[in-house]
Amino acid sequence: MPKATIRRDSPADEPRVRRGYFDCRYGQLHVHNVMPGGGGFEEGTSLLCLHDPVGSARVFARFLALIGKDRSAYAPDLPGCGESDAPPPPAVLANYVAAIGDFLDSMRFRQIDVLGFRVGALLATELAATRPAQIRRVILASLPLGDAALQYPLRERLATLSQRVLALRVHDEQWDATARVREVLPAARLLDVRDPGAEPFASAPAELAEAVLDFVRN
């Protein structure tokens, strides 16, 4: 298959990352979103981006602007992060998954691709496992496979996935763990990313956008 390239538009058509609020069971969910210059009526499946709970969806800002040249994308602040309302304490993974599920239901997506970064990859895995008809493809970046402290049966949940999976291995503490996804999903695509620093979606957005678009298109 030919390698994906990001479509180059005129300045007037350049996508702009916008923000909005959506209701969920814990209050309001703050969502960063982008769509192509034509108004979002593109043929490509939309992309949902899930950040690590220690930060916010702002980490995807530069990446979203590039993805938006090709298709719509959404990056919510997880409950209690960024500008989203917090769930009742203690915040657990199930709270995040439930709130994102509320967002997907309110948007009535027939299908959507999902990308998760670090702990966000666990959320992406759980959404894919519980919504196999709605989640079309799965991208897992810096996957914390084998981290027992997260109290999530990641190997078991990964083994249930029927979707095509791309694992992005970046040079951080999860470098070796991410490669082990092939032990559970032998058919998963594994891609090493050039040394992008601690926040790859901020420091190497073009390389990651090309990799993601190549995967979701082909």
First and final C-alpha spacing in the chain: 7
Domain 12-217: CATH superfamily is: Alpha/Beta hydrolase fold, catalytic domain (3.40.50.1820)
User: pLDDT (tens digit, 9 = 90+) per residue, 94-141?
Assistant: 999 999 999 999 999 999 999 999 999 999 999 999 999 999 999 999
Query: What's the pLDDT at 104?
Result: 98
145 pLDDT tier (thresholds 50, 70, 90): confident
pTM greater than 0.85 (yes/no): yes
Q: Tokens representing 164?
A: 């095509």
pLDDT for 157 beyond 60: yes
1 pLDDT tier (thresholds 50, 70, 90): very low
3-state secondary structure of 55: coil
Omega prior to 2 cis, within 30 of 0: no
User: pLDDT (tens digit, 9 = 90+) per residue, 8-38?
Assistant: 444 556 788 999 999 999 999 999 999 997 6
